[in-house]
Amino acid sequence: QVPQDPAQRRVWELTKLSKQLQRVHPNVLAKVLKQATVYQNEEIVVINKPYGLPVHGGPGIKNCIADVLPILAKMLENMKAEPLHLCHRLDKETTGVMVLARSKKAAEKIRLLFKTRQVEKIYWAITLGDPDPSKGIVDIPMIEKEVQSHQPHYKMTLAPNYRLSPEDGKVVKIRKNRDAESAVTRYRLLASASACSLLELQPITGVKHQIRVHLAYGLGCPILGDHKYSHWSKLSPQKLPEITLKRLKLEQSKARHLPLHLHAYRLSLSLGQQINLICKPPLFFKKTLKKLELEITNE
């Protein structure tokens, strides 16, 4: 049953697309990725990763990018092409720039660039609320913890090195948690309207769910459609401000269908020469920008 309401229809279409990508024949998925190719040379192939497609397999996952890399390589070159190699990963719900290597040697070289932080990554995210200040650096370590609630689950969270003393409210340094990973994200505000913001983000480190956690728990601006990190103690749909619901023509009860608005917009790396790769945001992201009247003036 296709919803009549345009906003709900868009959400329904995305969910349907996600499910379809799980059901299609691997050859069809490889074809989708071939059409999503934005750049290639003798060492790399770059795709604009579709929404809702996992990079790796796992329980309940029938199709993922890793599995169709041999087919994609043959479609792009010829029947004798060796499989493409993954160099980094993006979350299932994240869209945008993804680099694949044509050889094992190239993959190792690129993975090392990622590991030694020589790749510049720029993301765009639509968030609830405005960050204060409007640009800066979030430098708070992160750790995975079990959340005790009506359904216990694991989440990444902040493990700060400082806290406020209950006696006098002063900032006190606390002992670093041994298991916490250093996490640093640079951010700046590009536009703000309808109780939402468009942010440009540059993760300096690459911790799991780093951008989502730094925005939600560090800046108090969760990403639109991030139902996992909008509350700490429970897994429940994000609560949206009245004006946001109005602009999106959405009822709060349908907010759980909203997709995560996080897009890997640009990636720069040096392979002999400097390569700058840009992927335009997907259609649903652009439509949300338009509906929320988030206009970028300086891009």
Say if residues 78 and 70 touch (Cβ distance below 8 Å). no
At position 12, the amino acid (one-letter code) is: W
Measured at the CA of 72, the angle between CA 68 and CA 74, to 5 degrees, comes to 125
How many residues appear in the chain? 299
Q: How far apart are CA 92 and CA 50, in angstroms?
A: 9
Q: How far apart are CA 108 and CA 125, in angstroms?
A: 29
Residue 5 annotated among the catalytic residues of the structure: no
3-state secondary structure of 286: helix
Q: Which of 91, 132, 179, 226 is catalytic?
A: 91
Task: Fill in the DSSP letter of residue 176.
Answer: P
Q: How far apart are CA 185 and CA 158, in angstroms?
A: 13
Q: At what angle do helices 65-76 and 26-35 cross, to 10 degrees?
A: 70
Helix (H), strand (E) at residue 142: strand 142-147
* Residue among 146, 141, 220 nearest 181 (CA): 141
* Residue among 209, 218, 214, 205 nearest 120 (CA): 205
Say if residues 3 and 9 touch (Cβ distance below 8 Å). yes
Catalytic positions, written as ranges: 91
